[in-house]
Structures are given as structure tokens and as C-alpha cells.
Amino acid sequence: MSGWETVIGLEIHAQLATRSKIFSGSATAYGASPNAQANLVDLGYPGVLPVLNAEAVRMAVKLGLAISATIAPRSVFARKNYFYPDLPKGYQISQYELPIVANGSLEIVLEDGGTKRIGITRAHLEEDAGKSMHEGIAGMSGIDLNRAGTPLVEIVSEPDMRSAKEAVAYMKKVHTLVRYLEICDGNMQEGSFRCDANVSVRREGQHRFGTRAEIKNLNSFRFVERAINFEVSRQIDVLEGGGKVVQETRLYDPDKGETRSMRSKEEANDYRYFPDPDLLPLELDAAFVESVRATLPELPDQKAARFISQYGLPAYDAGVLTASRELADYYEEVVRLAPADAKLAANWVMGELAAALNKENLDVGSGKLPADRLAGLLARISDRTISGKIAKEVFELMWSTGSSADSVIESKGLRQITDPGAIERAIDEVMARNPAQLTDYRAGKDKLFGFFVGQVMKATGGKANPAQLNELLRKKLSG
């Protein structure tokens, strides 16, 4: 691979979380029985007309503002004409020459910790198509138009990414952003968030872009990474073998881990775009844009910066904790309820909690361990009721039983021993039972200190406060 540079641009399709479709009043909910959510407009019946959903416009503007883009004062819906059975009108209403959002950017964090700005050429509104079903109906295909007319925003990046990892980092960043903005549920299994990747390679130092292939419909971060890496190797192989990369559309086959040609440029459709005469140009004034700006939440980068300054967290922690709004909110709730040690809270959220959630394939919003429960545990660590080590045991019990930290500590008798008299009594007993070790220690065998700590801990069931134990033990042993 050396001597080659990879160039990647992504076209991300995010389904907007409106209740109704972009040009009709049908519901957009996922999973209804086929065609239950397709009305006459969605079915493209003779005489019907589209009416633009204002909520979809508001969501696109939100996105535009969040990526510091220009919101077009006038954008135009156009028809993209092609025949396909799941495209009811024979054209898709999209935006072509004048999109609603242009010239934005996002910053991604690279593996070495550095950052990189990824340009976003444009984002435009369009309607989704339905889907064809080729199984279950003998000799025929079925058409489900529930998805037809679902609002999408297509976010087109500049060819600014130079590796599959950068592409994934960018896609994750957009994914985080649209969920923060509450304009897309980000559900990749259901196809709410997917992308096409434009991939090309060129000799290092070469200025001109190589011929690109477009890999269609990638619906997981892992697939994006694998498909791009496969495609890059394939193109390099072709070029090193003296061949030429063909401009074409390719499909990624996740089972085989390879991309396959779908159609070449010569076979590509001529979409015959022209402004849709059924829809007036979309005109947005500054007052509208400002009213949308007023609804913007704190964005991921702003939140991460605040976490660093407000909670004294390292940049890495701030990045992880702000990756989703739910996680960030959870963290802040924990800190609010257990304010003694924000870093301790970060460690627990990113460590024990994340691991436990991950293991059961849950997310933080699942409610399995509410923030107040975790805060209750952290409070007991901070007030030294339990040690950090015992806390992990408590956490596991809280996770499996749903009990609070206090009730686990009480019922299992895990409360840390902080009564100096009790600790001293335990020390005395251990010393009495181990006269030989005591003599050796006093003769200068300092290493035996650890032995006594262990013995006392064993005697107290691990509950002795470690700091107190150390102090009292040292005093007693030295006689």
C-alpha cells in the first residue's frame, strides 16, 4: 500500500425524525405492515400533489447551523427521474442545484489525538423510496411503500478523508451530531442512518484525484471501514497491475467482505433533473433561521470543552462521555448527585458501567442502572463507607439485583471498618497469632508489612479502611 494515498468522500443519508412524511401526512413509524403507511400521495396516484413538511425544513436548518454552514435563503426542489417499481411517481423529489444547506464542516479527532477539519459541501432534503421485496411471493416481487416519502437529509462531504479510519470517525461524528440535534434516531439497522462512500486512490504526491468508485448503502461503521479498505486494496491492485479503475457504482457484500460492480458510468441513469413545478422554491428568512438557532442544544464539541473545564476531565474522557447526549446527560446527573469527585464518576461511567451495558447490549438510556443509583455508590466511596475494591463488588450486586448501594452494603455487611478500636483489636489478634513474623519484622524484615496488612484484611473481611489500617499497623508493629 505504500506510495498510495486514499481519497474518500461520504454521502450520508439521515432519516429525519419527523412524525409524518416529507410531502404527505402519512406516518413515518418503522415496522408497520406493508403499505399500511402509504396514502395516495405516497402511492403517486393521478392528480395528487406534494406539500412540504415544515418540520423537515426546521430539522435540516438545525443541521446546517450545527455544522456552521450557510442556510440558503432560497432553495429549490427538483425531480430526479428514473423508473423503478418502488419509486411510485417515477421521480424522486430531491434538491439539486440549490440545496438548503451548503459549505459546512466538522472536526474529527484522529488516532494520534490530533484533529482534522472535514468539509461538508452540502446537505439537501429529499424523499426516500419504498422497497421491493423479492421473497415470499412466487414469481413476482412485492412493493412496500411505507418508506416512500420518508424525509431524508443527504449530507455530502468534501473528499477530505484519507483513510477508512478517518471516514468512520467522520461518520460517527455526524451520527453523534444528528442524535444530539434530535433530528434522526441514528438507527442503522433500520436504515435511518446510512452512507455511500466515494473512494479513489492516487500516487503519493499526485495532485489530481484518481477515478473513483461509489460504494452504495453502507449501514454500519464496521462495514464502512471494511468496504473502504477492501476497495482501496482492489483499486491499488488494479493500478499496479497496469489496469485502470472504472468509474462505477459498487455494492459491498458483508458476507464475503468484498465490493462488487453494480453499474458503470456508461450504464448510469440520466436523471433529467429539473425544478419540481409542484413545489414553490423554499424561501427562508433570517428570522426563521434565528428562531431555529434558538432551539439548538449544546453541541458535542461545546459539551466536551465544558466537561474539560467544568469537571477537570482529560480530553479523552470528555470525548467519550459526550459521544451521545444520553451518556453525557447521565454523567452530569451522576456528578450532580455525587459531586465529590468528578473524575471518579467519569472512571465509573466509562469503566464499570460501560462494560456492564456493553455486555448486555444495552445503552445508557435503558434505565437498567439509573444515575442516582450509581451516584449512591460513588458517594459511599467518597465518604469511605466502602473502598474502591469493595465498590466493584457492590456494583455487580446492584447491577444484578437492582438494589441501591446502601442496601447492598448493609445486607452484605460490606461497610468499611473505620473504628480505630475495631481495627486495633484485629491487629492485636493477628500479631498474637504470628509471633515469629512479628519478631522478624521487628528485626528489620520490612517486607512483612504487606503480610500483616493481608492478614488483617482477611480477618476483617476486606472491610478495614486501608489508610487507617496502614497507619495503625505501622504504629503497633513498631511497638
What is the binding site for other proteins (CB under 8 A)?
A: 40, 43-52, 79, 81, 83, 85, 88-91, 141, 143, 270, 272-274, 277-280
Q: What angle do CA 297, 358, 348 make, to 5 degrees?
A: 70
Distance CA 45, CA 26 (A): 14
d(CA 164, CA 174): 15
Shortest separation between residue 81's beta carbon and other proteins, angstroms:
5
Within 13 A of 45's CA, how many CA atoms are on the CB side?
Answer: 7
Count Cβ neighbours within 10 Å for each residue of 320-357 and write b for 16 or more, e otherwise: bbbbbbebbebbbbbbebbeebbebbbebbbebbeebb
Nearer to other proteins, 278 or 393 (CB): 278
Instruction: Give the residue with the Cβ less far from other proteins, 44 or 466.
Output: 44
How far is the C-alpha of 342 from the C-alpha of 191, rounded, in Å?
37
Shortest Cβ 138–other proteins spacing (Å): 15
**Least CB distance from residue 136 to other proteins, whole Å?**
18
Residue 211: closest CA among 247, 262, 235: 247
- Distance, CA of 322 to CA of 300 (rounded, Å): 6
Least distance between other proteins and beta carbon 4 (Å): 32
* CB closer to other proteins, 91 vs 230: 91
Based on CB atoms, which residue is closest to other proteins, 83 or 432?
A: 83
Relative to beta strand 213-218, strand 248-253 is parallel
What is the distance between the alpha carbons of residues 82 and 173, in angstroms, rounded to a whole number? 33
Q: Is 21 left (phi over 0), alpha (psi -120 to 50) or beta?
A: beta
CB-based contact 273:96 (threshold 8 Å): yes
Least distance from C-beta 48 to other proteins, angstroms? 7
Nearer to other proteins, 77 or 348 (CB): 77
Select from 221, 163, 177 the least CA-distant residue to 195: 221
Q: How far is the CB of 93 from other proteins (least distance, A)?
A: 11
Rounded CA separation 315/302 (Å): 12
Shortest Å, Cβ 340 to other proteins: 58
Q: How far is the first Cα of the chain from the last one, in angstroms, to the nearest whole number?
A: 70
**Shortest gap between Cβ of 96 and other proteins (angstroms)?**
11
Instruction: Decide whether 42 or 231 has the Cβ nearer to other proteins.
Output: 42
Of residues 83 and 205, the one with the C-beta less far from other proteins: 83
In the complex with other proteins, the residue whose CB is nearer, 47 or 435, is 47
CB of 45 or CB of 316, closer to other proteins: 45
Q: How far is CA 316 from CA 97, 341, 468, in A?
A: 40, 17, 34
Q: Minimum Å distance from CB 284 to other proteins? A: 15
